[in-house]
Structure 1
């Protein structure tokens, strides 16, 4: 009954309250009835939410409402029992005792209350009640706990219109076309529609770059294609590089060679036939079969396969020693490189790559760009690396507003064409709008003029027949803003003769001398394993250097963005909840404002972290890092998973940031936008490159050319 009264009071005070918000508040009142001892406790529980519902009400209004709700919830506790006597004047207890006053009726009324004997506690009954309560608690503790249900995430679904002719050809095995046509298809993720009535044509031999904002469904589309949830011709082989290679005793080189299933089958058959011949088998067919196997091996260039696999592995950073190591000895990042090497070696009819540059250093990226330019079959790649998209694709697929538009050329050409297209659409929209307004003015002016009645009617009909006026699509601009900081006198961070080694034999670097101030913009580059992340962890104090010293300004406050930041996020909470865990006790509006500054706004801020795209998780991590208001940023591969627009916004924000910066990145565009100093990790030390990123790329190209000779 009290809950209904509370609900009625809420509806009365907040007529426009959202149904879900009202149900949430009622749930808090119902479940926490015994926990609220005062109106202050109730205000702490629901005060912030009530302020969100109505900004017009003051804090005193909300506190008064909480008092009323508490009275409705606990009416018996708020009723005054017994008679109270208000004293006419203060009483001096000590003086009364000294004067031996015997008639202290007035005084006793202050603290003495005569209780009925029926209300006194029976000690035996109390003991029995306590025993029963203890037994119940023991049973609860012994009872098996309900199993913890795993986190249920929404899944993607797809539907499409099937081409009957192609389906019949597939069924008969007569379809030989290598082009892929997916027509009139929809893709949804839970209740969110990602693509609607979309068409996708992938011509054989073309290289497609799939671009679009974070969270629009690029990765989901690749998974729909690779999982055959979107139907494509059955004879076309697909390989999606998504999962890392499972580690075992197989060497890296053999792991790649095993991808050629025909070669592996023929070699196994050759070995089997040779064993039978060596043991003295008299079967005359064996020599004939062996000749056929040798001819088949020669036809597929089996002898050249190990050399081709070695070239691919070497280009992706695996030296000769690493190629001979077992796959189980490699970290997750290197196993992902191994998965990419297997895909490049097997050459499927359709290769799907999702952010392939995320796991690579600049040297490996340059090699991969050159290798993919000669890719013989169809390639569909999702990437946010602007330089990679300018080099590899022959076509750009732009995913936006639940559809896919196709543009010929690389990303630079796409950007120019799309900009001109939007300008043209804007001019056409403005011209149509002006024309409509002109016609409407004529109609309004002569609507009641009998001499112009025919003309007015003609204009009205013409206006009705005009096509629907659609405004020009305008994407929301991504804005990132880092906190304002107070200046600190230099130097703020100094590394003196820093050395580090994991063991006696594995020396990462020695004699590292690094000095950084609040105006420093340092980018650290180098091959994977050269010690870039290790150096950052030493600066952060996560690792201790073998020798040397680190000096920091006492006012230095570092914000650290880890390369594998996703592993540090609580996937079972919302974005707002994540900030609440890290920075408790602040208004919800502050958390939402902080997330909104990094593009996580609206309903997105209330989604589970696990349901976000990789780029959205990165932005949540940046928002969390900046909520502590650091004055020095250490960012380890911050562009992984971010879309091109967000990377540009990040570069602009870092340029405007008044604090210091040490950045590890392979994104050439971001390095050019932000960094003033380039430090190269390699050969056991860290050196400053005067020529910047252009000179560093020249060194890499020279090294790659030397290796191919």
Structure 2
């Protein structure tokens, strides 16, 4: 079997010795022992003993190269220079492919660490005595120092190889180091002496939130730099932007007051679900108003003291004052108001009297939202409030928030919700925040106009700069025009530096096509009855069927049984009565609304796919993740450090890896930004099943089931 050195000798007979050493780690044409194969006469006499090979690029075998692309990146540029015009890029790649295959074939032998036992020790002193080299000693023979290779390119190639080896070492360390330590968010803000004096003196009575010149970072990644946020009292702000840019992190910085917010402004961040205990749902909402609860507790204490005859005049006066405050805040109407909020969010009368521990995570999130709405903070922070709501609850929430008396900052990717609720839009992009007046549709129009204006201004300035530069270049060495040239130079320095428009990369999602043709129906429920409790049936005589041309959207109120029906279709639940029929070659791709719970958050996205689908090259996992926007550094970060939308994309990559031919999607748009939602719609519309034989008619389409259809 030819070695890599043999391949280089045959393909590049005029290869430089320094390049040969760098690639193979063996003595190349620059040394005396290698000249024979270049067509020059070799030194007469016994063969010269070879010097120990240096550590070349190929020294460690294929361990440093995951693919032939890595090998081309390491040595391709040097080999192109050596070949001159004799080989193009394809020829260089073909040579690298041969060397890569040679390394892969030789790897099992190298992993065995085979050794050769010599018959007797070698004594270099006796070897040198037997050879007539004059003053030269093997191993001390000086090589020809002249080299035709570009030293800068050689250094550049060595730097690339070193960086790749360091990256591989770091990756191996992460794999053996156990669960990774997650990065934490941090914020810094420029101080204002005037605001500090107002805050310390207690004279700041404004409920406007004004935060200027602040930075937000997540680990080593800068999310915002030199940003400003101005939240006017009574306005409702929608915070929008691509997944992973820092919207949720900004809300957390505000909620924890890592960014300075006046102490007299109360705020609530609806992020975590309510802890489950024996507290009734209605009482849990009432307890969120701490001021009212404190007054009621003190009223009970004073009433008990008066009833026991231990109270004096001051206690009676204090009790009267408490009654006045309770009447002022309309404490007696609080239970009715809390019940209305719970009913709007889907809690019936029976559910309002159930302990919180009996509710699922989604319903506890609704309880957290109800508590925030009931408490009426000065600044309400909402992060994707519509994710766990059905259509009726979303419409109720829209109407309720339209009469909200204080300030709201909401992160949402629901276009209709933002149009109904938001009075202003804050756009997070390019590590900065831009504010727009109006709802989401107005924001889209205003942003497009702003970008066009910015691009026109940039192009006009570039033309003006070019015009001035032409004058400077023309008369730079003209003594009569020296003063004018200096004036033009100063004018260029004073011009503000405008930047071109940052064009956001279009989100592209593509589902792998199927290649099987089935006779309908491919999935069917026939006269199915199902119940968890015999006293409360979920379905009675349910019939539904789907074929390859189906596009089915499942809608209904929470608790109606949408997810249960999907699990019956999946086969995860068995009907109490009736038949489930599925084609024998059916491969279902299932996207759960609780998909995050099914992901291992302690590993990277690449490793997640490698564990789920072992035995494939890493390039395949990366390519699969790249289909859904998880590329580059995102693919090797712990899944726990990704945003909600990025975790959803990882779940899509995992779902489509085995190339299903039938998709069941349960709330697939949760956490996805608007651009990704639109890309998902395009991907579903363009998905098709291609028969193995040429189709005789229209292409067949995959079914799409989802309870989210708004």
Q: Counterpart of 1:526?
A: 556
Match of 1:200 among 213, 218, 229: 229
Q: Counterpart of 1:666?
A: 708
CA offsets per residue over residues 160-203 of structure 1, 9 Å max, x none? 01221221222222211111111111111111000101111111
Mapped to 2, the partners of 1:546 and 1:492 lie a distance apart of 21
Q: CA deviation at 1:604?
A: 1.2
Match of 1:266 among 289, 295, 299: 295
Q: Counterpart of 1:152?
A: 181
Q: Counterpart of 2:593?
A: 563
Count of aligned pairs: 571
Work out whether residues 14 and 53 of structure 1, in 8 Å CA contact, stay in contact via their aligned partners in 2.
no
Match of 1:77 among 115, 119, 122: 115
Mapped to 2, the partners of 1:356 and 1:466 lie a distance apart of 46
Q: Counterpart of 1:13?
A: 23
Q: Within 5 Å, which residues of 2 pair with 1:382-421? A: 382-421=411-450
Mapped to 1, the partners of 2:562 and 2:315 lie a distance apart of 57
Q: CA deviation at 1:429?
A: 2.8
Consecutive unaligned residues of structure 2, counting only runs of 5 or more, are 1-17, 26-59, 74-92, 121-175, 689-700
Match of 1:497 among 509, 514, 527: 527
In the alignment, structure 1 residue 604 sits paired with structure 2 residue 642:
no
Higher mean C-alpha deviation, range 46-55 or range 324-333: 46-55
Q: CA deviation at 1:269?
A: 2.4
Q: CA deviation at 1:265?
A: 2.0
Match of 2:201 among 172, 176, 179: 172
Higher mean C-alpha deviation, range 251-260 or range 465-474: 465-474
Match of 1:328 among 350, 353, 357: 357
For the aligned residues, what is the CA RMSD?
Answer: 2.9
Higher mean C-alpha deviation, range 543-552 or range 209-218: 543-552
Q: CA deviation at 1:596?
A: 1.1
Q: Secondary structure at the match of 2:553?
A: strand
Mapped to 2, the partners of 1:190 and 1:395 lie a distance apart of 30
Mapped to 2, the partners of 1:376 and 1:302 lie a distance apart of 18
Q: Counterpart of 2:623?
A: 593
| Structure 1 residues 43 and 624, CA gap change in structure 2 (3 angstroms) | farther
Q: Secondary structure at the match of 1:269?
A: helix
Mapped to 2, the partners of 1:59 and 1:81 lie a distance apart of 38
Q: Within 5 Å, which residues of 2 pair with 1:323-402? A: 323-402=352-431
CA offsets per residue over residues 128-150 of structure 1, 9 Å max, x none? xxxxxxxxxxxxxxxxxxx9965
Q: Counterpart of 1:61?
A: 99
Q: Within 5 Å, which residues of 2 pair with 1:447-486? A: 465-486=494-515
Mapped to 2, the partners of 1:509 and 1:10 lie a distance apart of 75
Q: CA deviation at 1:279?
A: 3.2
Q: Counterpart of 2:5?
A: none
| Structure 1 residues 559 and 391, CA gap change in structure 2 (3 angstroms) | same
Q: Within 5 Å, which residues of 2 pair with 1:226-241? A: 226-241=255-270
Report the TM-score when normalising by structure 2.
Answer: 0.75
Q: CA deviation at 1:298?
A: 0.8
CA offsets per residue over residues 265-299 of structure 1, 9 Å max, x none? 22222222332333344634444333322222111
Q: Secondary structure at the match of 1:524?
A: coil
Work out whether residues 215 and 616 of structure 1, in 8 Å CA contact, stay in contact via their aligned partners in 2.
yes
Work out whether residues 390 and 411 of structure 1, in 8 Å CA contact, stay in contact via their aligned partners in 2.
yes
Q: CA deviation at 1:451?
A: 9.4
Q: CA deviation at 1:466?
A: 4.1
| Structure 1 residues 463 and 286, CA gap change in structure 2 (3 angstroms) | closer
Q: Counterpart of 1:279?
A: 308
Q: Secondary structure at the match of 2:207?
A: coil
Q: Within 5 Å, which residues of 2 pair with 1:430-441? A: 430-437=459-466
Mapped to 2, the partners of 1:334 and 1:235 lie a distance apart of 31
Mapped to 1, the partners of 2:484 and 2:345 lie a distance apart of 74
| Structure 1 residues 492 and 444, CA gap change in structure 2 (3 angstroms) | farther
